Structure 1
Amino acid sequence: MGLFMTVERTDNVSYGDMIKNFEGEPFFYSLRLLSESEELLDKVHLKKRWHHPLVTEIEVKQDGIWGVIYKPPGPGPFPCIIDTPVLSGRLCKTHAPLFASEGFLSFCFPMFDEPGLPKTLQDVDIEYLSKHIKYVQSLPYCSDKIGLYGTSFAGTIAHHLATKHPELKAVATTNGPGAFYREKGYMKENGRPMECETLDSSLTVTENGVVKQEAIFSDLMRRLRPENSIKWENISTNISFRVLSSIDDWLIDGVTNGAYIRDSLLKTGHKVDMDFVNSGHVTVIPYIPHHYFGYNKFLNVNLAFGGETCTHGKVQETAWEKHIQFLKKHLGAPKKLPDYVRETRVLIPERSGSKL
């Protein structure tokens, strides 16, 4: 699906809706060739798979563990990548299938706002997240090479989990804030609220009703305290890091935040692969629509994420490839999956996982 690097949402997508593909279902596209007078000259349907057909999806619901394993073919053991939960709290299958298609064992799981889980982020206990890492370690087809991947707040979760799990080998994050930026009791640790100070920022409404967060990051960094910062010194120096920060990020200051994380890790003796890129906040997998803004139900506003569509699309392609190279370097390069026969005639179902 490398035909189009630049993809935008069509008019039939709800305003502010983010196309995250939580279920990891195929995307279907209709490619139309039009004349200058907009006469239809030809049309072909396209299908974008979310994972290799030989990858097995295994749902897990047992002993307080809830998630989805993506297993490459064969007995393993495989190096493993755990996709940490996104800010929405829901089970999100956006990244894990792609890691499995590269030959990694991968795992994703929800955090809240799903049946049987807490309703809000404030009620989540960090120990719940650690249970999933321990579960993956127990799998007979998982090697001892385990890494974490997280984008946005999931990157903050990944960094925090690294302070708890010295057995990890690598952590890759994209635009993850370097601290918890919310009110006291934002999350729980060992059943107790984490002491997190409120850090103020202004919200400015732009002409189209989108909110741009103009956080004065020098002030935010000045007000960080040990209790609301990632404890970088508690992270094993055996864990390698890749940090990607977007300089056109409208939600957080990518340069200041990225430099803060990089400098904190270097100061504590860690190996860091740092990338500053010219994209917006939601820099995710290649060939997915550009999200320059999106609705946040917790704040009840549309947040601006930034990024120029063409440049952003190119960054998503190159950044993802660098993530894969980094993880293969530090977790071991898994066996490449064989190629497969593509469909020569694609039928678009009446209802698909994509709104495009």
Structure 2
Amino acid sequence: MNYIVTGAAGFIGFYVTKKLLEQGHQVLGIDSLNDYYPVFLKHDRLKELGIVAGDVDYGVPLGSHSFQLFKFVQLKLEDKEALASLVNNYIQECGFIDRIIHLAAQAGVRYSIQNPDAYITSNIAGFLNILELCRSLAVPHLVYASSSSVYGMNSKRPFSVQDQVDHPVSLYAATKRSNELMAHTYAHLFNIPVTGLRFFTVYGPWGRPDMAYYKFSLAISKGEPIDVYNNGEMLRDFTYIDDITDGVLKASERLPSPAPGFDPLKSGPAESSAPFRLYNLGNNRPEKLKNFIETLETALGTKAVKRYLPMQEGDVAATEADIEDTRRDLDWEPRTDINAGLKAFAEWFNGYYNG
């Protein structure tokens, strides 16, 4: 099939793009290559996909040296006219778009407190342009990234997609919840099949340097202390990247349909009379942060110097995914525990930075 993957140079987007190409699908990858974290990591991910950083030119499709069916374009999704032109030209060359997997976003909970404009521009305006693209092209299925952050002040665990999520604690979370509502509107008005995926603390090789486990590893490798918030008592549903990739692809294969007998007064927010669904992608086995750090220390073969601090603004004390609906509808099950996952990350991390 023919896919568009946004955020193709990002952590999850890189893995999803690579897997689709290995399966023989055609992919147009789009990424703004912003500098929220070091761009060299994004360039190195692209290198794994056969894209040379020095050849990248904004708005110009670039063919891969490794995958004949892959083209990459550096483009901001909020650049509406350039996005529409790019995709129209691509369709003239390659034909129909079967799926759009939208993984591009301005990430980061705490960064959204200091830089709110970036989140409205990328996560709201950019997502609107993707929805408009799906509308104009009658794309058969849009799969997009949401986040466990939408659960906000929800104290009920595990977090279910049927729970109300009306109390976000960061602008990042608010933009992700807005994406879900915008997607539902387009599914309702224009009959566009849309599936939202709430990711829970994704980790693994080629991960994001702003994530705690990655920052810990960088500090440990330099002999610097690590900041451990809430005395390491926070619970996180750490989910390995291969499991997330598998979930994204399974979601893309299953087109959502209207829920039979839907009643807006009785049904939960994860289903609709429109072709709309929400799913959690989480490990379903939350770990205390301090236990996660101990496992990371073992994997890296080095003890960390810890600096304990109170919980940060915008953080939540615990995340835990209820994946009953995901199991039932997508036949998806996380398979990687933190011992295996952090061992794989540590091997990559040591090789990448020592190399």
Same fold? TM cut 0.5: no
Compare the two structures and name the one with the higher helix fraction: 2
User: Aligning the two structures, in what range does the TM-score lie when normalised by the shorter sequence?
Assistant: 0.3 to 0.5
Q: Which has the higher contact order (CA 8 A, sep 6+)?
A: 1
